[in-house]
Amino acid sequence: MSPASVEAIEEGVRPRGRVLVTGATGVIGRRLLATLVASGVATRALVRDAGAASAEALRAMGVELVAGELLDEASLEAACGGCGVVIDLAAATNRGAVGRGAMWRVNEHGPANVWRAARAAGVERVVHVSTTGVYGMLRRWPVDEGGELRPDSVYRRSKLAGDVRLLAAVADDGPAWVVARITSVVGPGAHGNWKTMVDAVAGGRCTLVGAGERPAHVTDIDDIVAMLVRCATAAGAAGRVMLVGTRETTTIRGLHEAVAAALGVEFSPARVLPAWPTRPLGLWATRVGAWTGVEPRVLHAMSFLAGARAYDTSLAAETLGYEARYTIAQAMRRTVEACRAEGGEVGGQARGVAA
């Protein structure tokens, strides 16, 4: 399968009726809509600016566009009209672009606003997409749905606030709901988020903390899309909070080695930082950043390199009846292929710590 192609959804799990996707111009939103369109599902996208190039690309794909925002409940209700399912991917991820206060308001209030609008419009199911990041840097792993919630960045704290407010808003007289907390996403379309790592591995400029033995958990974007579609249709998913992603985990070093294998190079870190005191300092720094809002880029890199990310996704696998098609090695190969297909020299743009 080429990096740009998508696979159609099987008949038995294909959503009936029109599907509204919020966050439609984001990495997962674009891939999800492409998959739905390729499967013959009627689609609608909530966009802030219907004339923007990103929105026009969706229109050219065959997606109906509706202008609206998460904090404008009237526009949300209009967007939900005539839809059977809403998949809510929208979130403010870059507070530098919108401001910390605006990011927090969107992420905290948006999910409940979407559910209330869906109820008013007679929607049957709402799938809210959250993040496993709400569990923060793990002290024990793998963590399941009942794990301690310790988000370690402003964004992750705001996403947890949105989950909590949504769960407080849902009622029996509204649409069925699902909260899907997804792992980190790799693969075609998501490759831009990983190009720093790909470049660093290609250029021999990687950093590890200790032996790089802390767990890492990533899932191919097409597996995430398939799971979200099943969240929208599986009877057993209704009313559940689930950790969604592949059952496979690797290590930080293993992730780098998978990239190296895809590139056809030998992985050898340029720097190895001692586990002590790097990990405790990294944990302390990310916690301070989460509460103060002062989060220089190096903190995110340190969180990635020193943190542990491993989740028990068996509930979602069993509930949705789906096992990931791509191993982590295959998913990272697809990530590297997508970086190459995009153009430009792989390995020529690396700066700082891979994260």
Average pLDDT, the chain: 92
Nearest to 290 by CA among 52, 62, 100, 144: 100
Strands 215-216 and 250-251: what pairing?
Answer: antiparallel
Which has more confidence, 326 or 349? Answer: 326
Evaluate if residue 346 carries a pLDDT over 80: no
- 315: exposed, middle or buried (Cβ count in 10 Å: 0-12, 13-18, 19+): middle
pLDDT value for 65: 98
Distances (CA, A) of 130 to 107, 126, 146, 183: 10, 13, 15, 9
Average pLDDT value for residue range 17-35: 97
| pLDDT-above-70 percentage for the chain | 95
Evaluate if residue 351 carries a pLDDT over 70: no
Angle, CA of 45, 47 and 50, to the nearest 5°:
105
User: Residue 350 — very low, low, confident or very high, per pLDDT cuts 50/70/90?
Assistant: very low
Report pTM: 0.94
140-149: pLDDT as tens digits: 999 999 999 9
Evaluate if residue 245 carries a pLDDT over 70: yes
User: Residue 95 — very low, low, confident or very high, per pLDDT cuts 50/70/90?
Assistant: low
96-122: pLDDT as tens digits: 667 788 999 999 999 999 999 999 999
CA atoms within 13 A on the CB side of 9: 27
Query: Which residues sit opposite 20 in a β-bridge?
Result: 44, 86
Evaluate if residue 354 carries a pLDDT over 90: no
How many Cβ atoms from other residues are within 10 Å of residue 40's Cβ?
10
CB 204 within 8 A of CB 270: yes
Phi-psi domain of 62 (left: phi exceeds 0; alpha: psi -120 through 50; beta: other) = left
Nearest to 247 by CA among 188, 329, 317: 317
